[in-house]
Amino acid sequence: GRVYHVYNTHFDHKSETAVEESSKLIVDRVMGLDGEVFVAGDFNRPISELSVLNTAMYNNIEDTTGTFVGFGFKNNKVIDAIYTTKPYRHKVVVRDFNGHNASDHNAVVVWR
């Protein structure tokens, strides 16, 4: 009986204007929807810089565990997140496959 709205995005990595306008568009689309909203993605800049999203929604990444790792394990850029309209617990999942990362990004998960 619950309604969930799930969005996935990949922000531009060059244009600050595109990032700002993308953030505004997402907030305009999701605020006021019935049910819970999840906006996940590669935001291509530090999550702390996404003021429009951080003001309007819960930012479920507060870790220093890096999400962008470039196939290594030492990079600590946090540019991936899951934003929600209600608070959730969160975790960045780091997986080692014989000394290699399977992706250039670590997974981000949320749960109640």
pLDDT digits (tens, 9 = 90+) for 78-87: 899 999 999 9
Are 78 and 46 in contact, with CB atoms under 8 Å apart? yes
Q: Give pLDDT, residue 76.
A: 74
Arithmetic mean of pLDDT, 8-25: 96
Single pTM value for the model? 0.89
Q: What confidence tens digit (pLDDT) does each residue in 71-107 have?
A: 776 667 889 999 999 999 988 888 888 877 878 899 9
Name every residue whose Cβ is closer than 8 Å to that of residue 60 and which is 6 or more positions away in sequence.
Answer: 81, 82, 83, 84, 87, 88, 89, 90, 108, 110
Q: Give pLDDT, residue 17.
A: 96
Q: Give pLDDT, residue 65.
A: 80
